[in-house]
């Protein structure tokens, strides 16, 4: 595992090392020769590591492990040398170039060049010594009784035995609804054709156990003529098919089948004209399924069933794409977790003994059955409940996870999730989650920007390597990370890692010197490259005496840090600085921060109220996030930063822009790389608004339009918006998003906008008796969110003509009577309507032909509101206000059961969100501030735990690929200005105009 990450790290720094030979760095010829030597040496090292990885060593192979540690130290030294040269060049570029200054600085420059040369000589010796040492101590494979083994080989036998359906029934807890739903799918006789049922979820959630119980129940009743169970983990498609054929042939040897195609033919002969039930456990790739699928005859009027289990979402989607059913496994709720833990941890003779507090263990296990069973068995073996307490076990969990035999299966599961990630970039991205506290909700887009700043991934424009969005999607697809907040248009806003997965990530990050963290006064003194401080206790300054702060690349602070850490004069090579949650950050710290010339990502919070002018020094800065600050005025120097791509906050623009000719010159020459400006407050008259037309790369714009004294002319703002939405008729314009929020001013500025115009996403908040004409003229519009007091029939009728719209959200007090006619909204996939009065539209059969999700959010909704969901052929999800009556709930549940797709029916809980000040168009505030629960509908009288932040979700139908990735987190309705703000922010707007102050309490989705 370490070798893979190191190999990728070296490959990443090689181009940077080679770039130092460029004449612009003015290095001595001897230094350039050393750089060339190290470049060639590193290429050979990478090749040796890759060869080493192809030869499988035992876990006890100490020489390769020590060699990797030595090479990592060398690679880190080379990266430090590179970055110091870049840092020095950046500082020199900012300093005066006068003759006197160059004369004074010449001796210092000579000394620094000498230091660089000496450092390169030292690194050169390290490389030579590492190579010689490895050659001296490396044994030839096969000698000295060397045992070859790999993580996969260790895992496979256990996986095979763990996949036996006869061993799982005892540990099933909290799966009653899941089991009944799946058994009902097996028993369903309509349609009478082959159905594939996919069970998907993170490792250790009980997929195999649930499938095993289904298999044991079904195969004993004679309902299926043929049945078999095979494990697909670590096997080729041919091996899986061969095992399946042997089982169908009652263990008889099957000769003659040399490839997967021939095996498929033989299996089809075994199953032809018979009702069969096959379980394929732990299928791992879509290609594996494509090779296996032809083995199963699709005989009509027979009703055969195939169950597959997998950890990968895209594989599950592929398996049950046609006439299938997908069941998403969820973690256990609090009560079921405690029940399973107690069952495993407490011997029967202590059943009446008062058990110690297990809250810490339950939090670590995070509802994962395998973790609960593992730690429970460990505690019982060590004398619990009279033996060790849970706190002690939690504190030493890293040690137990690595060394104790009881944790062997848990360890294999976690290692497999890590090692199966393709490429070093994804592994680095996963380990980066160790920078955050375990219960911290991580903004997706902020995370992606940090990955980019660290150099783990490439920008989206790069076609050769993995980009940040693709890396995130892979981790989501593998269910390694979970979404916390998901918008109505199915975009993940915030996420986090599972409890035990987070423990594993911390262990791996620390052991590979990837992250150093301080948490609750437990400092781990390592070679620091990324430092994360967790907790609210001021750090003892003595704890950091041994750290060289100048080498830190990434710093994140959650709580208080102390002056030693916040002395930014000690830092030189920082790329990422996250201080949004730092409690003792002050304006005085910013002057030194502005000297961090290599900084690419900066997020501020705390008591920061003003940015200094010398922020102009941060020439490499790509993302500036001031959403958590008290900054009201943005200095114009920010807009001269040549690399700045994302600027986030809620601020006014300085009037000095009118006098700053250098800013005007910079922008007018098209030097701005700004893509996200979200956002600024405007009264329509700022000189800066006119300069926006020069920001040719702007893709996301958010503006709060507020009336102020003397602001009567909105011409400049209208022209800026017109320029932003201008359709240049390019084939690949890509995404372009506009958010406009009108407060106390007229929306008439929109009426004069003209075509040609292009937007992919539009959010409007104000008072709209009619739909602005330009909306109907927009090319490429896929997402639209409107918030107003009332929507007229005329406006709604105009919306139905938007033939390319895929997502529509309406927030209002009520709607005028409106009929969505046949073929209305022909491409709409998701419809969300948030109302105070239940005046929902009449939907004719044939309307919304491709609608996937339907959210009707009104606490006073009665029965089905004349909506016939059977007309929606692709429907997969319905969401209601949790405050609707039980009779209304049951009617929707029954309607969902009668629908061919059996869509999920969700309740969105209403909570007070008045404290959630949200000005972020990228993500939501932390869910802990608005604790929510997703409640699948249960029969009347069934107990529901509404205090859980996570609860099992019982799927009631086939889910689409995109819908499967979310955990149904929506914010949809409100009754006050602040509460409506939360609702509208789900489409990335904030603040509310007085026109909509009557709307009902905010609805927030669950955090599962």
Can you give the pLDDT at residue 582? 92
Is the pLDDT score of 734 beyond 90?
A: no
Whether residue 617 is found in the same domain as residue 706: no
Q: How far apart are CA 838 and CA 821, in angstroms?
A: 19
Whether residue 103 is found in the same domain as residue 204: no
Closest among 220, 259, 221, 207 to 238, alpha carbons compared: 259
Whether residue 135 is found in the same domain as residue 175: no
List, in order, residues 6 or more apart from 626 with CB less than 8 Å away: 604, 608, 611, 634, 648, 649, 651
Q: How far apart are CA 28 and CA 117, in angstroms?
A: 8
Can you give the pLDDT at residue 536? 65
Whether residue 523 is found in the same domain as residue 584: yes
Whether the CB-CB separation of 267 and 241 falls below 8 Å is answered with yes
Whether residue 361 is found in the same domain as residue 403: yes
Whether the CB-CB separation of 807 and 782 falls below 8 Å is answered with yes
Whether the CB-CB separation of 998 and 813 falls below 8 Å is answered with yes
Express as a percent the part of the chain with pLDDT over 90. Answer: 34
- pLDDT band at residue 852 under the 50/70/90 scheme: very high
SS3 per-residue string spanning 607-641 = CCCCCCHHHHHCCCCCEEECCCCCCCEECHHHHHC
Looking at the 3D structure of the chain, how many domains does it have?
6
Identify the bridge partners of residue 67 per DSSP, sorted by sequence position.
none
Q: How far apart are CA 796 and CA 816, in angstroms?
A: 9
The lowest-confidence range among 43-52, 582-591, 877-886, 901-910 is 43-52
Whether residue 606 is found in the same domain as residue 668: no
**Of 328 and 5, which is predicted with more confidence?**
328
Q: How far apart are CA 325 and CA 327, in angstroms?
A: 7
- The region, left, alpha or beta by phi > 0 then psi within -120 to 50, assigned to residue 144 is left
Average pLDDT over residues 725-741: 84
Average pLDDT over residues 525-550: 75
**∠ CA(837), CA(839), CA(841), 5° rounding?**
155
- pLDDT band at residue 667 under the 50/70/90 scheme: confident
Can you give the pLDDT at residue 999? 32
Can you give the pLDDT at residue 244? 93
Please give the backbone phi and psi of residue 345, each rounded to the nearest 5 degrees, phi first. Answer: -90, -30
Last residue of a domain, one of 725, 756, 781: 781
Place of tokens 């009653």: 176
Last residue of a domain, one of 482, 509, 536: 509
Can you give the pLDDT at residue 928? 31
Can you give the pLDDT at residue 425? 87
Is 393 part of any domain? yes
pLDDT in tens, 293-344: 999 998 777 889 999 999 999 999 999 877 788 999 988 999 999 999 988 8
Please give the backbone phi and psi of residue 400, each rounded to the nearest 5 degrees, phi first. Answer: -60, -40
Is 199 part of any domain? yes
HSE-up of 441 (CA within 13 Å, CB side)? 19
Please give the backbone phi and psi of residue 930, each rounded to the nearest 5 degrees, phi first. Answer: -140, 70
Mean pLDDT of the chain: 77
Whether residue 193 is found in the same domain as residue 263: yes
Can you give the pLDDT at residue 1004? 32
**Of 618 and 103, which is predicted with more confidence?**
618
pLDDT in tens, 785-821: 999 888 888 888 889 888 889 999 999 998 998 899 8
Last residue of a domain, one of 96, 130, 149: 149
Is the pLDDT score of 422 beyond 90?
A: no
Q: How far apart are CA 971 and CA 839, in angstroms?
A: 20
pLDDT in tens, 812-849: 998 998 899 888 899 999 999 999 999 999 999 889 99
For β-strands 853-857 and 877-881, DSSP reports them as parallel
Whether residue 21 is found in the same domain as residue 141: yes
Is 447 part of any domain? yes
Whether the CB-CB separation of 184 and 350 falls below 8 Å is answered with no
Whether residue 724 is found in the same domain as residue 606: no
SS3 per-residue string spanning 933-974 = CEEECCCCCCCCCCCCCCCCCCCCCCCCHHHHCCCCCCCCCC
Residue 194 domain boundaries: 153-328
Is 963 part of any domain? no
Is the pLDDT score of 998 beyond 90?
A: no
DSSP three-state, residue 872: coil
Is 604 part of any domain? yes
Can you give the pLDDT at residue 149? 35
Closest among 655, 661, 711 to 686, alpha carbons compared: 655
Closest among 918, 893, 922, 930 to 1007, alpha carbons compared: 930
What Å distances lie between residue 435 and 415, 421, 529, 923, CA to CA? 19, 20, 11, 19
The helix (run of H) or strand (run of E) holding residue 372 is helix 369-381
Diameter of the chain by CA atoms? 96
Average pLDDT over residues 262-273: 91
Whether residue 302 is found in the same domain as residue 443: no
**Of 437 and 387, which is predicted with more confidence?**
437
pTM, full prediction: 0.83
Can you give the pLDDT at residue 807? 95
Find the length of the chain. 1008
**Of 711 and 117, which is predicted with more confidence?**
117
The lowest-confidence range among 401-415, 538-552, 816-830 is 538-552
Q: Of 115-119, 133-137, 951-955, which has the strongest mean pLDDT? A: 115-119
Is 908 part of any domain? no
Tokens representing residue 140 in the block: 């030839």
Whether the CB-CB separation of 471 and 423 falls below 8 Å is answered with no
Can you give the pLDDT at residue 881? 92
Q: How far apart are CA 699 and CA 392, in angstroms?
A: 51
Whether the CB-CB separation of 675 and 713 falls below 8 Å is answered with no
- pLDDT band at residue 401 under the 50/70/90 scheme: confident
Place of tokens 């830190």: 552
The lowest-confidence range among 201-210, 761-770, 990-999 is 990-999
Can you give the pLDDT at residue 823? 86
Whether residue 85 is found in the same domain as residue 114: yes
Is 798 part of any domain? no
**Of 98 and 664, which is predicted with more confidence?**
664
Q: Which letter, b or e, does each residue of 666-694 get, where b requires 16 or more Cβ atoms within 10 Å of its Cβ?
A: bbeeeebbbbbbbbbbbbbbbbbbbbbbb
Can you give the pLDDT at residue 31? 67
Whether residue 166 is found in the same domain as residue 296: yes
**Of 166 and 66, which is predicted with more confidence?**
66
Can you give the pLDDT at residue 752? 84
Can you give the pLDDT at residue 389? 77
Is 588 part of any domain? yes
Is the pLDDT score of 291 beyond 70?
A: yes
Average pLDDT over residues 638-647: 93
The lowest-confidence range among 63-67, 511-515, 689-693, 885-889 is 63-67
């Amino acid at each position: 595992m370490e070798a893979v990450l190191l190999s990728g790290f070296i490959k990443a720094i090689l181009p940077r090392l080679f770039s130092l030979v460029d004449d612009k760095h003015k290095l001595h010829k001897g230094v350039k020769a050393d750089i060339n030597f190290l470049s060639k040496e590193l290429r050979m090292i990478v090749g040796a590591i890759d060869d080493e990885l192809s030869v499988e060593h035992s876990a006890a192979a100490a020489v390769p492990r020590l060699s990797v540690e030595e090479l990592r130290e060398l690679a880190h030294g080379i990266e430090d040398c590179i970055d110091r040269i870049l840092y020095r060049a950046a500082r020199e570029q900012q300093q005066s170039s006068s003759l006197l200054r160059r004369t004074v600085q010449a001796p210092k420059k000579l000394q620094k060049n000498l230091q660089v040369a000496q450092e390169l000589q030292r690194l050169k010796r390290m490389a030579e010594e590492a190579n010689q040492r490895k050659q001296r101590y490396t044994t030839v494979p096969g000698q000295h009784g060397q045992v070859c083994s790999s993580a996969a080989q260790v895992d496979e036998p256990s996986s095979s035995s763990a996949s036996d359906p006869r061993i799982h029934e005892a540990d099933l807890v909290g799966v009653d609804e899941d089991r009944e739903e799946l058994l009902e799918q097996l028993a369903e006789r309509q349609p009478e054709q082959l159905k594939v049922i996919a069970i998907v979820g993170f490792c250790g959630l009980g997929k195999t156990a649930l499938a095993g119980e289904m298999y044991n129940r079904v195969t004993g009743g004679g309902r299926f003529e043929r049945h078999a169970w095979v494990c697909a983990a670590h096997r080729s498609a041919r091996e899986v098919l061969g095992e399946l054929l042997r089982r169908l042939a009652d263990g008889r040897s099957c000769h003659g089948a040399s490839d997967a195609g021939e095996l498929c033919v033989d299996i089809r002969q075994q199953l032809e004209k018979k009702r069969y039930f096959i379980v394929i456990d732990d299928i791992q790739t879509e290609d594996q399924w494509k090779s296996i699928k032809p083995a199963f005859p699709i005989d009509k009027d027979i009703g055969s069933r195939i169950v597959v289990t997998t950890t990968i979402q895209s594989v599950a989607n592929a398996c049950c794409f046609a006439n299938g059913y997908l069941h998403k496994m969820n973690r256990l709720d609090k009560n079921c977790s405690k029940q399973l833990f107690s069952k495993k941890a407490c011997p029967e003779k202590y059943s009446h003994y008062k058990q110690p507090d297990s809250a810490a263990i339950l939090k670590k296990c995070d509802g994962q059955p395998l973790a609960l069973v593992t730690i429970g068995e460990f505690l019982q073996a060590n004398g619990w409940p009279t033996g060790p307490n849970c706190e002690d076990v939690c504190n030493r969990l890293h040690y137990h996870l690595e060394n104790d035999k009881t944790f062997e299966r848990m360890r294999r599961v976690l290692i497999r999730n890590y090692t199966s990630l393709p490429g070093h970039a994804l592994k680095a991205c996963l380990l980066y989650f160790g920078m955050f506290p375990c219960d911290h909700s991580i903004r997706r887009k902020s995370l992606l920007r940090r990955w980019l700043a660290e150099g783990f991934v490439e920008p989206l424009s790069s076609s050769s390597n993995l980009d940040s969005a693709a890396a995130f999607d892979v981790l989501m697809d593998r269910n390694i990370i979970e979404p916390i907040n998901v918008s109505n248009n199915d975009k993940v806003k915030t996420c986090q890692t599972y409890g035990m997965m987070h423990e594993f990530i911390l262990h791996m990050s620390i052991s590979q010197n990837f992250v150093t963290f301080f948490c609750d006064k437990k400092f781990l003194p390592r070679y620091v490259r990324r430092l994360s401080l967790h907790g609210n206790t001021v750090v003892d300054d003595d704890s950091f005496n041994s750290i060289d702060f100048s080498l830190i690349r990434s710093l994140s602070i959650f709580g208080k840090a102390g002056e030693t850490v916040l002395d930014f004069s000690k830092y030189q090579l920082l790329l990422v600085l996250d201080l949004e949650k730092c409690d003792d950050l002050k304006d005085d710290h910013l002057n030194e921060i502005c000297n961090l010339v290599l900084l690419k990502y900066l997020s501020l919070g705390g008591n920061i109220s003003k940015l200094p002018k010398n922020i102009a020094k941060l020439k490499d800065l790509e993302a500036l996030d001031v959403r958590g600050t008290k900054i009201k005025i943005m200095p114009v120097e920010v807009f001269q930063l040549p690399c700045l791509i994302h600027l986030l906050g809620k601020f006014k623009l300085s009037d000095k822009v009118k006098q700053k000719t250098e800013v005007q010159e910079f922008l007018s020459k098209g030097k701005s790389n700004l893509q996200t400006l979200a956002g600024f407050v405007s009264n329509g008259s700022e000189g800066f608004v006119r300069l926006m037309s020069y920001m040719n790369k702007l893709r996301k714009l958010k503006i709060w339009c507020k009336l102020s004294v003397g602001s009567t002319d909105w011409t400049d703002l209208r022209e800026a918006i017109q320029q932003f939405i201008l359709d240049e008729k390019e084939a690949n314009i890509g995404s372009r998003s506009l958010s406009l929020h009108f407060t106390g001013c007229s929306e008439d500025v929109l009426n004069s906008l003209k075509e040609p115009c292009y937007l992919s996403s539009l959010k409007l908040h104000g008072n709209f008796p009619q739909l602005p004409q330009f909306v109907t003229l927009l090319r490429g519009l896929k997402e639209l969110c409107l918030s107003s007091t009332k929507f007229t029939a005329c406006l709604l009728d105009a919306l139905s003509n938007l033939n390319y719209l895929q997502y529509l959200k309406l927030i209002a007090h009520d709607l005028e009577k409106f009929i969505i006619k046949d073929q209305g909204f022909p491409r709409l996939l998701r419809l969300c309507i948030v109302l105070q009065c239940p005046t929902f539209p009449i939907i004719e059969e044939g309307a919304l032909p491709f609608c996937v999700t339907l959210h009707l959010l009104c606490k006073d909704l009665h029965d089905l509101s004349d909506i016939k969901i059977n007309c929606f052929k692709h429907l997969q999800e319905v969401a209601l206000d949790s405050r609707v009556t039980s009779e209304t709930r049951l009617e929707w549940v029954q309607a969902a059961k009668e629908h061919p797709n059996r869509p999920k029916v969700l309740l969105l809980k209403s909570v007070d969100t008045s404290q959630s000040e949200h000005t972020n168009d990228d993500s939501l505030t932390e869910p802990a501030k608005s604790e929510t629960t997703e409640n699948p509908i249960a029969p009347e009288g069934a107990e529901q735990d509404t205090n859980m932040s996570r609860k099992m979700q019982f799927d009631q139908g086939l889910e689409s690929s995109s819908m499967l990735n979310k955990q149904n987190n929506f914010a949809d309705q409100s009754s006050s200005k602040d509460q409506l703000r939360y609702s509208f922010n789900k489409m990335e707007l904030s603040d509310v105009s007085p026109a909509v102050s009557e709307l009902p309490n905010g609805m927030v989705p669950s955090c599962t």
